[in-house]
């Protein structure tokens, strides 16, 4: 199966999502500058804009960081996850606009290179009260740039999923740097209980959602499944799997998607060959498991893409005993046909 | 100490600027003439896609230059635990 890269793959839902988001963003920036000018008439427009852009970028980064664990905790948040990269790129663009204006206002008017000036004009790196917090924002921005620049599918495929994932995990370093950037910058110059309370609330929300999602996933991934004498392990009761959908379990160091369809059950690796999309979150359409990310298809009984396409993923032996679905944890070579387990007559559909 | 810090800061910034400048020049050539030979999904792709990957190419240009020189024609299929186990 082959798809051609598009600049941005928009569909109707994504367009609605992006337009709504852009309207909210413009509303936020306008309100921030308007209210700021009304309450502090002495502030310059540049200063208000720098603050509006900076707070918008940080708020958005918090939203982006919350979407991942929310989607893992409750599948109703999955549509937000599939559209998350536009939010991430916008976070970077807001950050770069904030940093660019600040660099121009504070460092571009002398005869020193503005970036050198940013790093050396305040050398009090040992002080808390006068810490050169702008440098922290600069390094966070470099990380956000690397993430935004590699957000296209081309990078996921060409850097390989593990490298891409590790690179994008650096967002947590950027987040930490930005929390320090705000704490040592804005909160030092303008101590305000509302500002520091909001910052603490944001950090607490991000941290607690991540902890909750991690504990939950650990339960799935570390669930002890006892192997029977023939090596099969019990997965779940058949009625836990909705028709044409899958349940996901962790076996052999990776996730397995166990699909129920047309009175049969098949198990395949959960990892799409295209870009590691979660096949178990897809559906069986026209007899094929369809990846929710870009629509690559695989036959559930063989893990092979329908001809003329050539992608293949590992399959697993599966059987149904009474109500229980059992899977053998040893993966078969990608594309190996495995007879699906047939459901008892009368149990074909929920 | 302050002078040393200034030298380091200048070396970092100028190094970054040279790296990015070289990367940008490489990226212009690569997105126009190289990307389709490295990844079949890029064949026939439009200007929008090429412009979108340009900043990333400028950042990761040594890796792409290496692959282009080595005539790599497709990214490798990844070896996750299931694929590894199934080959044993
Ligand atoms: S990850 Fe692209 S189709 Fe599955």
Among A206-220, A265-279, A322-336, the range of highest mean pLDDT: A322-336
Same-domain pairing of A217 and A282: no
Cα(A155)–Cα(A165) distance, integer angstroms: 11
Report yes or no: B20 at the A interface, CB cutoff 8 Å.
no
Closest CA to A258 of A289, A304, A212, A227: A289
**pLDDT exceeds cutoff 60 at B83:** yes
pLDDT at A136 over 70: yes
- A85 and A182 belong to one structural domain: yes
Q: Say if residue A214 is in the same domain as residue A275.
A: no
Asked which of A224, A244, A270 is the last residue of a domain, the reply is A224
Identify any residues that bridge with A269 across adjacent strands, giving them in sequence order: A256
- CB contact under 8 Å between A145 and B59, yes or no, is yes
From the CA of A272, how far away is ligand 1's center (Å)? 6
A139 and A177 Cβ atoms separated by less than 8 Å: yes
Q: What is the pLDDT of residue A141?
A: 98
Atom of ligand 1 nearest to the CA of A272: 4
Residue numbers of the domain that contains A211: 12-224
In a domain, A6, yes or no: no
A350: in domain: no
A218 and A238 together in one domain: no
Same domain, A36 and A120: yes
Per-residue pLDDT at A254: 87
- Choosing from A269, A293, A298, A309 the residue with most ligand 1 atoms within 8 A of its CB, the one to mutate for a pocket test is A293
Which of B61 and A346 is assigned the larger pLDDT? B61
A122 and A56 belong to one structural domain:
yes
Asked if residue A279 and residue A193 are part of one domain, the reply reads no
Q: Mean per-residue pLDDT for B73-88? A: 77
Pair A72, A216: CB distance under 8 Å: yes
DSSP A263: T
Q: Which residues are CB-neighbours of A176 under 8 A, at least 6 positions away? A: none
Q: For A276-302, what is each residue's pLDDT tens digit?
A: 888 998 999 999 999 987 788 999 999
Residues of B in contact with A154 (CB under 8 A): 35, 39, 41-42, 49, 53, 56
**Residue A218 to residue A128: CA distance in whole angstroms:** 38
A206, A224, A242 - which closes a domain: A224
In a domain, A4, yes or no: no
Same-domain check for residues A252 and A196: no
Going from N- to C-terminal start, the domains of chain B cover 2-86
Is A64 within 8 Å of A91 (Cβ atoms)? yes
A349 in a domain, yes or no?
no
- Complex ipTM value: 0.91
Residue B28: both structure tokens together: 């212009």
Name the pLDDT band for A349 (thresholds 50, 70, 90): very low
**Do A217 and A243 reside in the same domain of the chain?**
no
Q: In this model, does residue A350 exceed pLDDT 50?
A: no
Same domain, A220 and A247: no
State residue A125's pLDDT score. 84
Distance CA A259, CA A217 (A): 20
The C-alpha atoms of residue A180 and residue A307 are separated, in whole angstroms, by: 54
Instruction: Say what the pLDDT of residue A1 is.
Output: 60
The answer to whether B36 contacts chain A (CB < 8 Å) is: no
Domain count, chain A: 2
Residues A218 and A240 placed together within one structural domain of the fold:
no
Burial of A73 per CB tally in 10 Å (0-12, 13-18, 19+): middle
| Domain end marker among A224, A248, A281 | A224
**How far apart are alpha carbons B40 and A48 in whole angstroms?**
47
| Residue A7 scores a pLDDT above 90 | no
| Judgement on whether residues A210 and A239 belong to the same structural domain of the protein | no
Predicted confidence (pLDDT) at residue A10 exceeds the cutoff of 70? yes
- Residue A7 is assigned to a structural domain of this protein: no
- The mean pLDDT of B44-54, rounded to a whole number, is 93
Domain presence at residue A151? yes
CB count, 10 Å around CB of A75?
A: 10
């Amino acid at each position: 199966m082959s798809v051609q890269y598009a600049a941005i793959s928009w569909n109707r839902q994504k367009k609605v999502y992006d337009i709504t988001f852009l309207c909210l963003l413009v509303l936020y920036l306008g309100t921030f500058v308007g209210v700021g000018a009304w309450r502090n008439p002495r502030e310059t427009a540049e200063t208000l804009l720098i603050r509006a852009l900076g707070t918008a970028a940080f708020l958005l980064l918090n939203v982006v960081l919350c979407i991942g664990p929310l989607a893992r905790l409750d599948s109703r948040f999955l549509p937000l996850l599939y559209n998350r990269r536009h939010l991430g790129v916008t976070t970077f663009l807001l950050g770069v606009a904030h940093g660019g204006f600040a660099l121009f206002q504070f460092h571009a008017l002398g005869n020193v290179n503005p970036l050198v000036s940013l790093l050396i004009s305040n050398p009090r790196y040992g002080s808390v009260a006068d810490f050169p917090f702008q440098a922290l924002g600069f390094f966070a921005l470099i990380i956000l740039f690397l993430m935004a620049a590699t957000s296209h599918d081309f990078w996921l495929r060409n850097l390989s999923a593990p490298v891409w994932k590790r690179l994008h995990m650096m967002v947590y370093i950027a987040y930490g740097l930005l929390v320090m950037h705000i704490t040592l910058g804005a909160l030092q110059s303008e101590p305000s209980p509302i500002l520091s309370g909001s910052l603490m609330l944001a950090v607490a929300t991000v941290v607690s959602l991540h902890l909750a999602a991690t504990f939950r996933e650990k339960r799935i991934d570390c669930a002890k499944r006892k192997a029977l004498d023939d090596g099969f392990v019990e997965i779940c009761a058949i009625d836990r799997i909705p028709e044409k959908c899958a349940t996901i379990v962790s076996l052999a160091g990776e996730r397995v998607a166990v699909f129920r369809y047309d009175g049969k059950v098949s198990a395949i690796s959960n990892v799409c060959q295209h870009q590691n999309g979660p096949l178990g979150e897809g559906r069986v359409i026209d007899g094929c498991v369809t990846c929710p990310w870009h629509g690559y298809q695989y036959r559930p009984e063989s893990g092979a893409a329908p001809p003329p396409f050539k992608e293949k993923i590992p399959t697993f032996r599966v059987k149904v005993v009474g109500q229980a679905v059992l899977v053998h944890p040893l993966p078969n070579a990608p594309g190996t046909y495995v007879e699906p387990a047939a459901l008892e007559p009368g149990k074909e559909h929920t | 100490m302050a002078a040393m810090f200034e030298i380091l800061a200048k070396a970092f910034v100028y190094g970054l600027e040279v790296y990015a400048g070289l990367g940008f020049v490489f990226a212009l050539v690569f997105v126009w003439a190289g990307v389709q030979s490295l990844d079949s999904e890029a064949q026939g792709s439009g200007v929008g896609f090429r412009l979108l990957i340009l900043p990333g190419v400028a950042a990761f240009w040594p890796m792409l230059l290496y692959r282009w020189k080595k005539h790599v024609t497709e990214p490798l299929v990844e070896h996750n635990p299931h694929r590894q186990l199934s080959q044993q």
